[in-house]
Homo-oligomer: A and B are copies of this chain.
Amino acid sequence: MMLLRGTFVHTPELGQLVILKDHLVSVDADGFIAHFESAISSASKSLIDSSDGHILSIPTGSFVLPTFCDLHLHAPQFLYQGNGLDLPLMQWLDKYTFKAEERIDGDPALARKVYEKLAARLIEHGTGAILLFGTIKEETNLILAQAMQSAGIRAFIGKLSMDISSRPTYVESSAAASLASAESFTQKCAELVRHLPPHRRMVEPVLTPRFVPTCSDELLKGLGKLSEERSLRVQSHMAEAEDLIRWMESERGMKDTNMFDTSNLLTPRTVQAHCTYLSDSELDHVHDTGTSIAHCPLSNVYFSARPFKLREALRSGVKVGLGTDIAGGYSVDVMSAMRQAVVVSRMRESERVTKGEKHDDSLAINWKESLYLATRGGAIALNLPLGTGAFQVGAPFDAQQINVYDLNSGSGIGQLDFFDANEVFEIGEDVVEKWWCIGDTRNRSRMWVQGDVVQPSA
């Protein structure tokens, strides 16, 4: 059993920031929260008394926050993060993406190097759970799964399904071959961790039709059937870009939302990235199917002409979390995604105000709402174990320690400056807000997933 005492910060509901001072959490041997109360409650006191002093004390000037969830990241594209972003989506895929993914599939040593480094960067940035797109090749995705399991990150691994491609050498040979490969991967990925108790299995396979243009009708329907039969997770991209929409209309005569829908790929186990071209009624339909959305604000700025209707999606009750979309977005940092989500939403609201449109609630989200999306919202969208993304008894202890002020030196940590700080430094809303604005990896000293400390190793 592990005991931690200090300040805890979380967002149990959208827009609600809760700061719990001098609280005690106990984490059981399986990594679940067994107790969470004020440290001076009688139950806490007896835990402290029986602990023989083995309590991890979170120092003044630090707080514990749930880990971040990243709902959309292309692991192989980490290879060329921050390059070529000025191109339109379909051109960018041709010039950079398919080539890089083919290269990773052809070089297991490179794949291992890239994926281990990615895991280290995720830990550095406080990402404890992640939904990943991989490559076509089964073996490469098993390397990815191993890298994440070893690092201790909750990772949902998507072997790409694509029987259509603009790159003749980077494609699966038929719908049948693609389906067989998807099924085989899901089994081998599960086998990787079968020897572990369920709560120590960090990785899980995800059916991953890349996006509709790369999947035949037969493949989509086959994946929908497989998902239903085996209760498998699904992820893809949906309604992302203007050129994609036009392509779909001319080639398939149908919207990709309809294609996913009729193939049974909109399910409570599905996360769809982007969804920038959905109407309000389509958002309602997404909600009705139980599908979650990965909102990738930075990537949308580069690859989608429309910003995501975040407020409308939240209003419809759609489960939404944030995605970094490496390398469509250039930053692996969920904090950057939070800030960008606020920027994009404020610009949407501003445009409405400028037009003179009046509505009851603002389209803008505030920083607290973005923090919810990055933690609790993401955990709900991913169907993580009960209570993940907030601190409550029964939830796995997935947390990060954030240090903002050092009492010994009397100075702020990283980019944070506090000119009014003194010996009774208090973690108030203003302090968390300042961290949200200018905090970075230097403010993060520790991360736990399922109660275990995870540390960058690459």
Partner of A417, one of B117, B305, B415: B117
Any B CB within 8 A of the CB of A52: no
Q: Which residue of B lies closest to A104 (CB)?
A: B419
Assembly CA distance A276 to B83 (angstroms)? 30
Assembly CA distance A351 to B306 (angstroms)? 7
* B437 pairs with A82, CB closer than 8 A: yes
* A438 pairs with B354, CB closer than 8 A: no
The 0/1 profile, CB within 8 Å of B marked 1, for residues 354-369 of chain A is: 1000000000001100
* B347 pairs with A347, CB closer than 8 A: yes
* Residues of chain B with a CB closer than 8 A to A435's CB: 82
* A347 pairs with B307, CB closer than 8 A: yes
CB contacts under 8 Å to B, within A409-451, are 415, 417, 419, 430, 433-438, 440-441
Assembly CA distance A353 to B242 (angstroms)? 10
Partner of A110, one of B330, B343, B419, B438: B419
Partner of A343, one of B79, B301, B367: B301
Partner of A78, one of B83, B351, B417: B417
* B301 pairs with A347, CB closer than 8 A: yes
* B81 pairs with A437, CB closer than 8 A: yes
* Residues of chain B with a CB closer than 8 A to A351's CB: 351
Instruction: Give me 11 other A-B pairs in contact (C-beta within 8 A), A113-B419, A307-B350 excluded.
Output: A81-B417, A82-B436, A82-B438, A83-B433, A85-B433, A117-B419, A307-B347, A331-B437, A347-B347, A351-B351, A440-B440
Interface residues of A (CB under 8 A from B): 78-79, 81-86, 110, 113-114, 117, 121, 242, 298, 301-302, 304-307, 330-331, 340, 343-344, 346-347, 350-351, 353-354, 366-367, 415, 417, 419, 430, 433-438, 440-441
Report, nearest first, the 10 A-B pairs whose CB atoms are least far apart.
Answer: A82-B437, A330-B437, A82-B434, A305-B350, A305-B353, A301-B343, A83-B430, A301-B346, A305-B354, A86-B366
